[in-house]
Chain A
Amino acid sequence: MDIASITASQVIFFILAAVILAGSVMTVVSRKLLHAAVYLLFVLLATAGIYFLLNYHFLAAVQISVYIGGILVLLVFSIYLTSQVGEKMDEPGIVKKTVTMLISMGGAVFCFWVLCTGQFPYADQIHLNEIDMHAIGQSLLGTERYQYLLPFEAISVLLLACIIGGILIATGNTKKED
Chain B
Amino acid sequence: MDIPMSFYLLVSFVMFFAGVFGFITRKNMIAMLMSLELILNSVNINFVVFNRFLFPEQMEGMFFTLFIIGVAAAETAVAIAIIINVFRSVNNISADDIQKMKY
Residues of chain A contacted by B67 (CB below 8 angstroms): 151, 155
Contact with A123, one of B30, B48, B53, B70 (Cβ below 8 angstroms): B53
Within 8 A of B (CB), among A9-27: 9-10, 13, 16-17, 20-21, 24-25, 27
For B38, list chain A residues within 8 Å (CB).
Answer: 24, 27-28, 40, 43
Count chain A residues whose beta carbon lies closer than 8 angstroms to a beta carbon of B.
Answer: 82
CA–CA, A37 to B2, complex, Å? 33
Given A21-B11, A71-B73, A101 and B58 contact (CB-CB distance below 8 Å): no
Of B14, B37, B54, the contact of A121 (CB 8 Å cutoff): B54
**At the interface, yes or no: B18 with Cβ under 8 Å from chain A?**
yes
In contact, B11 and A122 (Cβ under 8 angstroms): no
B69 CB → nearest A CB, Å = 5
Q: Is the CB of A67 within 8 A of B69?
A: yes
- Set of chain B residues within 8 Å of A67, measured between Cβ atoms: 37, 41, 69, 72-73
Contact B2 A9 (CB under 8 A): yes
Bound together, the chains give a CA A78 to CA B11 distance in angstroms of: 29
Q: Tell whether A36 pairs with B59 under 8 Å between CB atoms, given A24-B14, A92-B25, A155-B67.
A: no
Tell me how far the C-beta of A94 lies from the nearest C-beta in chain B, rounded to whole angstroms: 11
Q: Check if B78 sits within 8 Å of A162, measured CB to CB.
A: yes
Flag if B35 contacts A70 (CB, 8 Å). no
B11: contacting residue among A17, A40, A123, A136, CB under 8 A: A17
Task: Give the shortest distance, in Å, between A21 (CB) and chain B (any CB).
Answer: 6
Q: Are A63 and B30 in contact (CB under 8 A)?
A: no
Chain A residues positioned under 8 Å from B15 (CB to CB): 20-21, 24, 43
The reply to whether A10 and B30 form a contact with Cβ atoms under 8 Å apart is no
A85 in the interface (beta carbon within 8 A): no
Is the beta-carbon distance between A27 and B80 smaller than 8 angstroms? no
Nearest CB on B from A114, distance (A): 9
Contacts of B98 in A (CB 8 A): none
* Closest beta carbon of chain A to B71's beta carbon, Å: 7
Q: How far is the CA of A62 from the CA of B17 in the complex (A)?
A: 24
Q: Which residues of A contact B84 (CB under 8 A)?
A: 78, 81-82, 170
**Residues in chain A within 8 A of chain B (CB atoms):** 7, 9-10, 13, 16-17, 20-21, 24-25, 27-29, 33, 36-37, 40, 43-44, 47, 50-51, 54, 56, 58-59, 62-63, 66-67, 70-71, 74-75, 78-79, 81-83, 89-90, 92, 96-97, 100-101, 103-105, 107-108, 111-112, 115-116, 120-123, 125-128, 131, 135-136, 139-140, 146, 148, 151, 155, 158-159, 162, 165-166, 169-170, 172-173, 177
Which 6 residue pairs across A and B have the least CB separation, nearest first?
A28-B22, A162-B74, A104-B17, A24-B18, A92-B25, A169-B81
